[in-house]
Amino acid sequence: MNTGKESMGNASGMQLSRRDAIKGAAVMGMGLLGATSLAACAPGKGGDDAAGGAGAGAASWDKEVQVLVAGTGTVVHAAIACAERGAESVLVVEKDSAMFGGTSATSGGGYALAMLDFNADEGIEDTREKVLEYMKLVGDGRMDENVQAAFVDNANEFCRFVLETHGWSKWGHTSKAFGDYYELYQGSLDDAYGRGSWYPFDGDGQPLMAPAQWEGYRAYVDASDRIELAMGTSVESLVTDDEGAVVGAVLSDGTRVKASAVILGTGGFEHDEDMRRFHLPFPYYRSNGSANNTGDAHRMGARIGAQLAYMDTTFGNPYFDTQKEWEPGAFRYDKVGSDAFAPRGFPHSIMVNRKGRRFCDESTMYDTMNRAFGTYDTGTLEYVNIPGYWICDSTYTSTFLLPGYATPDELPEFVFKFDSLEELAEGMGIDEGALLAEVSSFNEHAGQGADPAWHRGEKAASANTLAMMSALMSLPGAEIPQSVLGTVSEPPFYCCRYVPGMMGGTRGGLHINENAQVLDVEGQPIEGLYATGNCSSGVAGYWAGGATLGQGGVMGYVAAKHCVEAAQR
């Protein structure tokens, strides 16, 4: 391990095994372990210890700690909470040799949270019943209501803990653009702030963005005499006893670590091609998640009989395609093409599919917009909305920047310019007649300030996105329109492709209960094993801005409370 704070310990050897029936059911029944995972389990690839914990035989430990934490994203809150609540020794391992914080440290830095003491300061009126009703609907009624309740009931305590531990002053908002994303659902808040994108503020009253937050978390970890950090190190496999409890793990350098509890926070699986194919319901093309998000915890858990849940879900976000040529099926890491700032919904622009038809409210929030890509055309037997084609006219470019913060004078290779809609249709491979008819209909209604087809501009999210984000996309001195509707009629026209992607990654994983304990395939907690963040089954869908950090932080705190209290009993 690459660590500067090391306290070695030994434990006597012990016989380790796992209930073969449960392990077999997990591996075979959930379809997770394809060629890559089976290779890791096969003889000659490190033996049973490297592959999992079951049937490991006599073992000795190289190191002993109270809690082993895998990852430094939102799970860092679990590590810090363990130390603060009395755990004498916490080992944190981070797969990346240089980057502390993973995807979280490069995120927007906001947390989706509910029922905070700070609601009154922000003018937010909320109830526990409304939150839970809303979260149930956003999760499509599939997700564990006990986990949702645990999240809501612990959010305020988590926030107070963060402030007290790091000497920060309050939680608040910086923008009205990232409230409740599914505002038409029962239980959503009419208030523009909603429950999304809460930020911690420092002692000087300044909001802390993600880099500053994770700098603070790293400083705490480095200063703590209870936490040891090993960068460039990962958990390779879990070790279980003959009752199926997790009693330790094998690290990537071969170190065998005995631990009373293991808390996994290794991120999603978006950068594993096989897992994307096995689990996601339609092709995804982009993610801004760390390249280290390769499903490590998912595999480790499945090998010892853990149940997986919601593996078909993501934190969705559309991307404009930054490649000149269309590459069907090509998946890339991308931060440049993220469309969270929603130029697709600004006036004098529309989005169509290859048949020339609009297929969404272009101004809706990014997660809801992303779901529109999954429509399957039963006539042509294809995902007809992949790619989408975003089109704007010269009125748009006189006010706003093009995707990629471009201008007509310096077009990137992925933004195409045409003198007419007919030329655009031919050049991009769009049905010409249908496109002309669609634009004509859109223009007729947009001129009247209406969109009867997709209701663009009718939701608060549209106005909030325009008001808050147009400042980032508008030209100097330009007068900002007060509507997201505007005709697409003045040549030249500009076009780029849009593809489905992820904001932070996949969001299905190890099925957890209200204590963040990982469940086996029979729905029973696996003693000693916890998960949080994108490697877990999570809390709800993408319910508000900062849902990734919110659920990961709060449930990491819940995991820490439970595992430390269990050790003290």
Give me the mean pLDDT over the 112-137 stretch: 95
Q: Which H, E and C letters describe 424-453, residue by residue?
A: HHHHHCCCHHHHHHHHHHHHHHHCCCCCCC
pLDDT at 6: 38
567: nearest Cα among 530, 520, 524, 522: 530
pLDDT at 567: 86
Asked if residue 340 has pLDDT above 50, the reply is yes
Give me the mean pLDDT over the 209-227 stretch: 98
Rounded to an integer, what distance in angstroms lies between the CA atom of residue 323 and that of residue 340? 19
How close are the terminal C-alpha atoms of the chain, in Å? Answer: 31
Rounded to an integer, what distance in angstroms lies between the CA atom of residue 271 and that of residue 318? 17
Residues 6+ apart with CB under 8 A from 245: 526, 527, 528
pLDDT at 297: 98
Angle among Cα 133, 137, 139 to the nearest 5 degrees reads 120
Of 205, 221, 250, the one marking the end of a domain is 205
Rounded to an integer, what distance in angstroms lies between the CA atom of residue 83 and that of residue 216? 15
497: nearest Cα among 426, 375, 403: 403
Asked if residue 58 has pLDDT above 60, the reply is no
Give me the mean pLDDT over the 496-519 stretch: 98
Residue in the structure block whose two tokens are 């995991």:
559
Q: What is the mean pLDDT of the chain?
A: 90
**Greatest Cα-to-Cα distance within the chain, rounded to the nearest angstrom:** 79
Quick one: what percent of the chain has pLDDT higher than 90? Answer: 81
Q: What is the pLDDT of residues 343-361, one digit of tens each?
A: 899 999 999 999 999 999 9
Does residue 546 lie in a domain region?
no
Give me the mean pLDDT over the 38-60 stretch: 41
| Residues listed for the chain | 569
Q: Total domain count for the chain?
A: 3
Helix (H, G, I), strand (E, B) or coil at 530: strand
Q: Are residues 460 and 352 in the same domain?
A: yes
Does residue 325 lie in a domain region?
yes
Q: Are residues 411 and 464 in the same domain?
A: yes
- Residue 83 has, within 13 A of its CA and on its CB side, a CA count of 22
499 confidence band (pLDDT: 50, 70, 90): very high
pLDDT at 191: 75
Q: Are residues 387 and 452 in the same domain?
A: yes
Rounded to an integer, what distance in angstroms lies between the CA atom of residue 98 and that of residue 123? 41
Q: Are residues 285 and 233 in the same domain?
A: yes
Q: Are residues 43 and 96 in the same domain?
A: yes
Rounded to an integer, what distance in angstroms lies between the CA atom of residue 105 and that of residue 289? 10
Determine which of 192-196, 294-298, 551-555 has the lowest per-residue pLDDT on average.
192-196
Q: Is the dihedral of CA 270, 275, 280, 285 positive or negative?
A: positive
CATH number at residue 492: 3.90.700.10
Asked if residue 40 has pLDDT above 60, the reply is no
Q: What is the pLDDT of residues 65-106, one digit of tens each?
A: 999 999 999 999 999 999 999 999 999 999 999 999 999 999
Give me the mean pLDDT over the 112-120 stretch: 95
214: nearest Cα among 320, 108, 64, 88: 108
568 confidence band (pLDDT: 50, 70, 90): confident
Q: Are residues 453 and 490 in the same domain?
A: yes
Determine which of 49-58, 136-145, 435-444 has the lowest per-residue pLDDT on average.
49-58
Residue in the structure block whose two tokens are 């679990």:
78
Q: Are residues 94 and 115 in the same domain?
A: no
* The pair of three-digit structure tokens given for residue 395, joined into one six-digit string: 């009125």
Determine which of 6-15, 269-278, 390-399 has the lowest per-residue pLDDT on average.
6-15
Q: Are residues 398 and 475 in the same domain?
A: yes
Q: Please list, residue by residue across 352-362, b when 16 or more beta carbons sit within 10 angstroms of its beta carbon and e when fewer do.
A: bbbbbbbbbbb
Does residue 161 lie in a domain region?
yes
CATH number at residue 45: 3.50.50.60
Q: Are residues 471 and 490 in the same domain?
A: yes
Q: What is the pLDDT of residues 414-444, one digit of tens each?
A: 999 999 999 999 999 999 999 999 999 999 9
Give me the mean pLDDT over the 541-551 stretch: 95
pLDDT at 542: 95
448 class by beta-carbon count within 10 Å (0-12 exposed, 13-18 middle, 19+ buried): exposed
pLDDT at 472: 82
Asked if residue 16 has pLDDT above 70, the reply is no
Domain extent, residue 61, equals 39-103+211-313+506-538
Of 205, 236, 257, the one marking the end of a domain is 205
529 confidence band (pLDDT: 50, 70, 90): very high
Of 476, 499, 522, the one marking the end of a domain is 499
Does residue 29 lie in a domain region?
no
Q: Are residues 364 and 458 in the same domain?
A: yes
175 confidence band (pLDDT: 50, 70, 90): confident
Q: How far is CA 292 from CA 98, 99, 189, in A?
A: 12, 10, 36
Asked if residue 36 has pLDDT above 70, the reply is no
Reported pTM: 0.90
Pairing mode of beta strands 501-506, 286-287 = parallel
37: nearest Cα among 278, 380, 247: 278
Q: Where are the beta strands (DSSP E) in 62-148?
A: 63-70, 90-94
Asked if residue 39 has pLDDT above 60, the reply is no
DSSP assigned state of 410: B
